[in-house]
Structure 1
Amino acid sequence: MTSTAVNDGKSMKASDLFVAALEAEGVEYIFAVPGEENLDFLESLRTSSIELVLTRHEQGAGFMAATYGRLTGKAGVCMATLGPGATNFATPAAYAHLGGMPLIMITGQKPIKKSKQGQFQIIDVVGLFDPICKMSKQIVHGNTIPSLVREAFRVAEEERPGAVLLELPEDIAEEETNAPILEPHDRHYAVADDRVLEEASQLICAAKMPLVLVGAGANRKQASIALSKFIEQTQIPFFNTQMGKGVIDERSGLFLGTAALSDGDYVHCAVERADLIINVGHDVVEKPPFFMEEGGKQVIHINYKSAQVDQVYFPQIEVVGDIARSITRLGERLGGKVAVEDEYYRMVRGEIEAHTSELSDDPRFPIIPQRFVADTRKVMGDHDIIALDNGVYKIWYARNYKAYEPNTVLLDNALATMGAGLPSAMMAAKLYPERRVMAICGDGGFMMNSQELETAVRQGMNLVVTILNDNSYGMIRWKQADAGFDDWGLEFNNPDFVQYANSYGATGHRVERTEDLVPTFEAAFKAGGVHLVEVPVDYSENKRVLLDELKEKVCLI
């Protein structure tokens, strides 16, 4: 498209122009905790087509906007004031930056042409965010708004996606401008060179035990379709990273498992035996599921961008370009099924299936992780979405919970921050009201943004929020035990979660028998609205399964 002057050369307020530019980008929502420095922008937003979603903390706004980007591929937008409001965006910015989620943050600022209050609340927000954003800019004139907004969305959404910050000072927001809107246009990514595709196909044909690794960068609709066809055609076994779950249906007989741990798990037996890893959409931001060594296995890197090389990752061949088209063209060159000596892979798959299904019907109470994950899978359909906060339960879900479609398991294995699970689930519930959506949080992570329950209720969301309660920071206790330290310093007390939920207008439930978990979930989803389900959890299985059992594991290499 060509640029059009939506204001037909008429003078308009800069904040009105900013909002019009956002409308031209197709922005549906702005998640915000406004301040006085945002009032011109807020007034412009009032008469626009964009829905303002008022949150109770800037982190909630940022996490919701980042998740919008993750689910749609279009940049989510959030807004805060200067100083303390802006600094509360730091964690969502890092979350989007490391997780590859397109995010636009708009922050206010005092007037820059004439000081009214000295340095009150003023910090260098643009400089602060520069290291954790793809772009961080202050708007210094209304006429630059259309080009800066267009550039912000291009940068945020372009592979690899990430965060962008735009700071709008008070006096700039209220000035007059007649600058034209710059309309967005479709982007098309380059296609990998024929020569490198031929090299990759020859390497695959020469391999005896190739494996496909699916990472977060492949979690795009077209890439998922192309990869599924590639696996079906070539019959090469595959595994995924945590953020690559669901790109290919994990019910496939060629699925080995998820790399939930850095190394030492059963799936790593297959990785160690492989002579070639076809690494699709993964980079070293997400904790690496395998380590390369000089003279060891070969790796084909398939991604939108070239590899970030470090001590654990230095691929021999890089297929750079649109993932879907690269995979499709690579499949065409291979022509059909690839010869794989897969008897060992079948053995590993059997071991993984046996261990991940173990104790899935165990009746103990408090509930153990294996049973909790299995019961969650029973109540969630193919299209339904779980959003996990960060805690040791995330490992159990990565290992034991099979995902059937892309972006139906929302977890963060990049920044791995606590506090994002509830806002992330809220965004999914708002976008997909016809699906079941469940937030799964530890008691520690939930309390970091628990106030957003009020936002969910006010927004009329249908959402189940599950709290796994062990009255401690369970992940760190597990690490503490693994390191041989005494169990000390990580326990706390919690509120009455049922009354806490009810006080916000949600409906609280407390599971008191393991057999009541599935019926409680089903009743909550059937009733609609926001429900909180407190589930006491017994993490003693962490040591037996994730520590002792794996240390005794033997790979039949």
Structure 2
Amino acid sequence: MKTSDLFVKALENEGVEYIYGIPGEENLDFLDSLRGSSIKLILTRHEQAAGFMAATYGRLTGKPGVCLSTLGPGATNFVTSAAYAQLGAMPMVMLAGQKPIRKSKQGRFQIVDVVGLMKPITKYSEQIVDGNNVPSMTREAFRLAMEERPGAAYLELPEDIAEEDTDATVFDVVGHRRPSPDVKSVDAAVEMIQNAKMPLLLIGAGANRKMAGKALTRFVDKTGIYFFNTQLGKGVIDERHDKYIGTAALSADDYLHCAIERADLIINVGHDVIEKPPFFMEKGGKKVIHLNFFPGQMDDVYFPQLNVVGDISASIWDITDKLSMPEDRDYSYFQRVRDEVESHITKYFEDERFPMLPQRLVATLRDKLSDEDIVTLDNGVYKIWFARNYKCYQPNTLLLDNALATMGAGLPSAMAAKQIHPDRKVVSINGDGGFLMNSQEIETAVRMKLDLVVIILNDSAYGMIKWKQEGVGFENFGLDFKNPDFIQYAESFGAIGHRPTSSEDFNQILDTALNSPGVHLIDLPVDYSLNHSILNVLIKESACII
């Protein structure tokens, strides 16, 4: 068979359902082979968006999402998506075409060393130079993309190799079970937890990735230990739990950092160095147990005293079985911190001002969405409000990016989430700046017949940077812009546009959008005027003496 036919069979063998992307002339053999395949091609309007969709597929399913581009400018458009998947630990495989490698008739036209370009931001980046190598290279790309820590892989298929004949056959897909932790490390963890007076549990990105919620909930219920999470650890334990203190949306100086300062032991589950550290270690200070699939990476602010290495769920389960907690523990301080956090984040939930406060938006969405519904975030200052204020009841129901933290990913991420979970409501939250970076995908969403709600938080500026600019005392400069008429823009793609004029109007429009078919775009004026007065003075109010 042709190499391109074999390549498609290898992808089918890996269980690939969708390929997102934009083919070029270098992909024509592959495209023809794909035509008779069980794999569905989702044609996007930009390669970057295709990469974001593939990465989100990987994030939600645990299987590599796949995206496709042509050579040169198509493949280089994958760079941000590759970094997004690699830093965010989302399994993804990128496929790209290339000019013939045996004989060139066009010199160096459009040829970039994309394989070399991708090597620093992927786990695997290779060009297929012989059709007989397709089975092994495909299997290796998918294996590495899925293996802890998950990430991105890149395969390049030149057009002359694609049309060659081969008699190779696909490899079996062989999985493996993750190892359980060493018994001695479990016993050491049990001893440290039992000897601690004020232990805290921290849930990070790695725990969310493997759905360790059942084991962690059992641990908290048995021990009574309070917990907090990073932004990428949200929802692993239901955040309605009475031991949940909050989410570390800021690096320091939030109310929950008072609890972190008081703790003498942090049980750090699923820690990932790509997230901003929610606490800083000092020599002679609090002790840290690092519990993950791999040992902790040492640096100036993170040097755990114990590594428990192995499957996260198995590690927590074994520790919980062996723990016998002292009855004289006094966690009343952590409870006071929890009460303070709860009072603070709910303060503006019923505020009627318009343009709308992001806190009110968070409350409105949480009230209208069920436990399993999904909110996806682009990147902007509103991400802090959602991380702090939006309680997650299940894993991966608030899809935010606290790794690469790129703008432009919110809409494509929502599209993939809705495709994977058509029975759930999906809402995409975007700043006006980030939305316009991939807004062309509204057409893709309409063509896919998705039922999707897209909310644009409109402040005619790059709001996150304006907040930072104000916070350090600089004058307002260089961050304001003008927007198109988003209603007409949405309708030109076949979507339905809405522009609320009050908080109550938004409430009614959101009801309509959530319960009607089609793509609904809501142009919502937003008021960020309280960002500085709230976020920049948190610790001054509490001073950790509550």
TM range (shorter): over 0.9
Match of 1:534 among 500, 523, 530: 523
User: Offset at 1:225?
Assistant: 1.5
Q: 1:256 maps to what in 2?
A: 245
Deviation per CA, 1:177-223, whole angstroms, max 9, x where unpaired?
Answer: 01111021222111110001000000000001100000111114541
Residues 174-323 of structure 1: pairs in structure 2 closer than 5 A:
174-220=163-209, 222-323=211-312
Q: Using a 3 Å threshold, how does the CA distance of structure 1 residues 306 and 339 change in structure 2: closer, same or farther? A: farther
Q: Runs of at least 4 residues of structure 1 off by over 6 A? A: none
In structure 1, C-alpha distance between the alignment counterparts of 2:451 and 2:324, rounded to whole Å: 46
The amino acid that maps onto 1:357 is T
Q: Is the 8 A contact 2:235 2:397 kept in 1?
A: yes
Matched residue of 2:476: which SS? coil
Matched residue of 1:318: which SS? strand
Matched residue of 1:176: which SS? coil
Matched, 1:464 2:447: no
Q: 2:9 maps to what in 1?
A: 20
The amino acid that maps onto 1:463 is L
In structure 2, C-alpha distance between the alignment counterparts of 1:393 and 1:524, rounded to whole Å: 21
In structure 1, C-alpha distance between the alignment counterparts of 2:207 and 2:331, rounded to whole Å: 24
Match of 1:522 among 495, 508, 511: 511
Matched, 1:33 2:22: yes
Q: Is the 8 A contact 2:290 2:308 kept in 1?
A: yes
Q: Is the 8 A contact 2:254 2:538 kept in 1?
A: no
Matched residue of 2:301: which SS? coil
Matched residue of 1:256: which SS? strand
User: Offset at 1:33?
Assistant: 0.8
Deviation per CA, 1:288-330, whole angstroms, max 9, x where unpaired?
Answer: 1110111111110111111121112111100111001111011
Matched, 1:120 2:109: yes
Matched, 1:150 2:139: yes
Q: 2:323 maps to what in 1?
A: 334
Match of 1:483 among 464, 472, 476: 472
The amino acid that maps onto 1:56 is R
Q: 2:341 maps to what in 1?
A: 352
Moved more, 535-544 or 519-528: 519-528
In structure 2, C-alpha distance between the alignment counterparts of 1:327 and 1:287, rounded to whole Å: 24
The amino acid that maps onto 1:267 is L
Matched, 1:386 2:402: no
Q: Is the 8 A contact 2:21 2:68 kept in 1?
A: yes
Query: How high is the sequence identity, in percent, across the aligned residues?
Result: 62
Q: 2:441 maps to what in 1?
A: 452
User: Offset at 1:31?
Assistant: 0.2
In structure 1, C-alpha distance between the alignment counterparts of 2:43 and 2:103, rounded to whole Å: 30
In structure 2, C-alpha distance between the alignment counterparts of 1:151 and 1:270, rounded to whole Å: 44
Q: Is the 8 A contact 1:384 1:436 kept in 2?
A: yes
Q: Is the 8 A contact 1:477 1:487 kept in 2?
A: yes
The amino acid that maps onto 1:196 is S
Match of 1:371 among 334, 357, 360: 360
Matched residue of 1:518: which SS? helix
Q: Is the 8 A contact 2:194 2:324 kept in 1?
A: no
Q: 1:94 maps to what in 2?
A: 83
> Normalising by the residue count of structure 2, what TM-score does the alignment of the two structures yield?
0.99
The amino acid that maps onto 2:416 is M
Matched, 1:137 2:126: yes
Q: Is the 8 A contact 2:269 2:291 kept in 1?
A: yes
Deviation per CA, 1:245-271, whole angstroms, max 9, x where unpaired?
Answer: 001000000000000000000010000
The amino acid that maps onto 1:396 is W
In structure 2, C-alpha distance between the alignment counterparts of 1:41 and 1:339, rounded to whole Å: 67
Q: Is the 8 A contact 2:59 2:209 kept in 1?
A: no
Q: Is the 8 A contact 2:211 2:395 kept in 1?
A: no
Q: Is the 8 A contact 1:234 1:338 kept in 2?
A: no
Q: How many residues are treated as equivalent by the alignment?
A: 546
The amino acid that maps onto 2:492 is S
Q: Using a 3 Å threshold, how does the CA distance of structure 1 residues 340 and 460 change in structure 2: closer, same or farther? A: farther
Matched residue of 1:48: which SS? coil
Q: Is the 8 A contact 1:191 1:325 kept in 2?
A: yes
Matched residue of 1:246: which SS? coil
Deviation per CA, 1:304-358, whole angstroms, max 9, x where unpaired?
Answer: 1111211121111001110011110111111568764211001100110000000
Q: 1:5 maps to what in 2?
A: none
Q: Is the 8 A contact 1:221 1:406 kept in 2?
A: no
In structure 1, C-alpha distance between the alignment counterparts of 2:522 and 2:69, rounded to whole Å: 31
Q: Is the 8 A contact 1:365 1:514 kept in 2?
A: yes
In structure 2, C-alpha distance between the alignment counterparts of 1:19 and 1:375, rounded to whole Å: 45
In structure 1, C-alpha distance between the alignment counterparts of 2:255 and 2:314, rounded to whole Å: 32
User: Offset at 1:504?
Assistant: 0.4
The amino acid that maps onto 1:309 is M
Residues 50-65 of structure 1: pairs in structure 2 closer than 5 A:
50-65=39-54
Q: Is the 8 A contact 1:66 1:103 kept in 2?
A: yes
In structure 2, C-alpha distance between the alignment counterparts of 1:417 and 1:273, rounded to whole Å: 34
The amino acid that maps onto 1:130 is K
The amino acid that maps onto 1:446 is F
Q: Using a 3 Å threshold, how does the CA distance of structure 1 residues 274 and 173 change in structure 2: closer, same or farther? A: same
Q: Is the 8 A contact 1:142 1:177 kept in 2?
A: yes
Q: Is the 8 A contact 1:379 1:518 kept in 2?
A: no
Unaligned runs of 5+ in 2: none
In structure 2, C-alpha distance between the alignment counterparts of 1:337 and 1:86, rounded to whole Å: 58
User: Offset at 1:556?
Assistant: 1.8
User: Offset at 1:370?
Assistant: 1.3
In structure 2, C-alpha distance between the alignment counterparts of 1:421 and 1:33, rounded to whole Å: 19
> Normalising by the residue count of structure 1, what TM-score does the alignment of the two structures yield?
0.97
The amino acid that maps onto 1:102 is P
Matched, 1:168 2:143: no
Matched, 1:501 2:482: no
Matched residue of 2:403: which SS? coil
In structure 1, C-alpha distance between the alignment counterparts of 2:518 and 2:174, rounded to whole Å: 38
Q: Is the 8 A contact 2:452 2:520 kept in 1?
A: yes
The amino acid that maps onto 1:178 is D
Q: Using a 3 Å threshold, how does the CA distance of structure 1 residues 508 and 338 change in structure 2: closer, same or farther? A: farther
Q: Is the 8 A contact 2:219 2:317 kept in 1?
A: yes
Q: Is the 8 A contact 1:58 1:88 kept in 2?
A: yes
Unaligned runs of 5+ in 1: 1-11
Q: Using a 3 Å threshold, how does the CA distance of structure 1 residues 556 and 550 change in structure 2: closer, same or farther? A: closer
Matched residue of 2:379: which SS? coil
User: Offset at 1:229?
Assistant: 1.4
In structure 1, C-alpha distance between the alignment counterparts of 2:40 and 2:462, rounded to whole Å: 36
The amino acid that maps onto 1:226 is A
Q: 2:411 maps to what in 1?
A: 422
Matched residue of 2:9: which SS? helix
Q: 2:37 maps to what in 1?
A: 48
In structure 1, C-alpha distance between the alignment counterparts of 2:380 and 2:108, rounded to whole Å: 40
CA RMSD of aligned residues (A): 1.1
